[in-house]
Amino acid sequence: MTDLRNYTLVTAAYWAFTLTDGALRMLVLLHFHELGYSAVQIAMLFLLYEFFGVITNLVGGWIGSHLGLKVTLFAGLALQVVALSSLALLDPGWPAALSVAYVMGAQALSGIAKDLTKMSSKSAIKVLIPEGAEGTLFKWVAILTGSKNALKGAGFFLGGVLLTGLGFRTSLLAMAGALALVLAAAILNLPGDLGQAKKKVKFTAILSKSPNINLLSAARMFLFGSRDVWFVVGLPVFLSASLNWSHAEVGGFLALWVIGYGGVQALAPNLLKRGLSGGTPQGGTAALGAFALAALTALIALGVQGGVSPWLTVVAGLALFGLVFAVNSSVHSYLILNYSDNDSVSLDVGFYYMANAAGRLFGTLLSGVVFQLAGLTGCLWVSVALLLGTGVISLKLPRGKSAYTP
């Protein structure tokens, strides 16, 4: 019962953070698009967010193993409160260059906060699940990951609605206050030694020595780069500029997509149950998902290139992309915990999500640059290339029941 209670507390804190994170992304994107910023300038606003996510995941796992996951979880929540409050101080009268630099700095804090919170929450599941219970581990990971993405989608919608109803500054202050209350509740209830390693780990251990984890991390980097290269900047700007959708419509559509994506992630164990040997995913499952995504994205690109209705290509195609991507992402989230050792789980998960953040970083940068040079079609073809890379790497992952291999 204690483990279930702690899992519930960690999940609730992660949910609250994710809601503000999704809303913040939509607030910043739509607010600065409305001010006339280009696709590349908007992408720049998120670069430090993603860059510091890389650093945080790499170092945060080591900090978590020394001080416990409670410390890293609380630090993530607190930094998000600071980031939201700082952005509320942005003065619309500042020069564009100063505004961009200021927002990039605040987004850097938010990037650190996001990955500290995510690493802590997902590592905590491995600690709380008994060894050998792979089926339960897959189910709990799927629930946490799926619910997180559903709430991130709700955050997209919330961001669009808040920007329309309350404006940029008031929305940020309201979210900072709500998250501060969640932080206070978590501090009072979670145990202090959650996820703390039994023996001290050297700083050099932040780089994984497990071939399986290295391969999976490389596949994860390409996978998330393939999504963000068209999703972060290209898709929202395309919907707003080319289809003349309002802020609420863009935020609402992306919210529904991410909510559906999260729902599929949570259901992934049931969706894959009949086709899996032993009931849990293996390396071949990840490879098959990557190649299926590459084929689907190529079809979407051909549809856009051929002038087919955006509703049939981008909107319907995105729904199918989300379905396959969600299942593949859940498979990855299970495999990293299955490949990890209990006593070094925060290090292994931190290294893995460092690669995840690196994928988002170059995906975000490419999204702005490629969209400005070649439009949404160009973003989609780059995505296809990255997905093929994901599939090739995933072919080298173990096919049988995998354990941690140092």
Cβ count near 311 (within 10 Å)? 10
**Cα gap 33→264, rounded to integer Å:** 31
Q: Between 384 and 170, whose confidence is greater?
A: 384
Model pLDDT, residue 387: 95
Q: Are 264 and 145 in contact (CB under 8 A)?
A: no
pLDDT on residue 293: 93
* pLDDT tens-digit series, residues 242-263: 777 776 677 778 777 877 777 7
Neighbours of 68 (CB within 10 A): 21
- In this prediction, residue 406 carries a pLDDT of 39
Interatomic CA distance for residues 83 and 94, integer angstroms:
19
How high is the pLDDT of residue 402?
44
The predicted-structure confidence for 87-127, as pLDDT tens digits, reads as follows 888 877 778 778 778 888 888 888 888 877 776 666 666 65
Q: In the prediction, which pLDDT does 386 show?
A: 95
Percent of the chain with pLDDT over 70: 74
Closest to 183 (Cα-Cα) out of 111, 80, 112: 80
pLDDT digits (tens, 9 = 90+) for 292-339: 999 999 999 898 888 787 777 877 888 888 888 888 887 887 787 777
Mean pLDDT over all residues of the chain?
76
Closest CA to 90 of 158, 19, 173: 173
Say what the pTM is: 0.67
Q: Which of 224, 223, 251, 248 is nearest to 236 (CA)?
A: 251
Rounded CA separation 268/142 (Å): 7
Cβ atoms of 110 and 81 closer than 8 Å: no
Q: Which domains does the chain have, with CATH numbers?
A: 2-394 (1.20.1250.20)
What's CA 109's distance to the chain center, in Å?
16
**Pair 347, 62: CB distance under 8 Å:** yes
Write the DSSP string, 325-338: HHHHHHHHHHHHHH
Least-confidence region, from 52-66, 197-211, 235-249, 379-393: 197-211
Q: CA angle, corner 361, sides to 78 and 268, nearest 5?
A: 80
Euclidean distance between CA atoms 257 and 153, whole angstroms: 7
Rounded Cα distance, 389 and 377, in Å: 19
The rounded distance, in Å, linking the Cα atoms of 80 and 13 is 12
Range 220-229 average pLDDT:
90
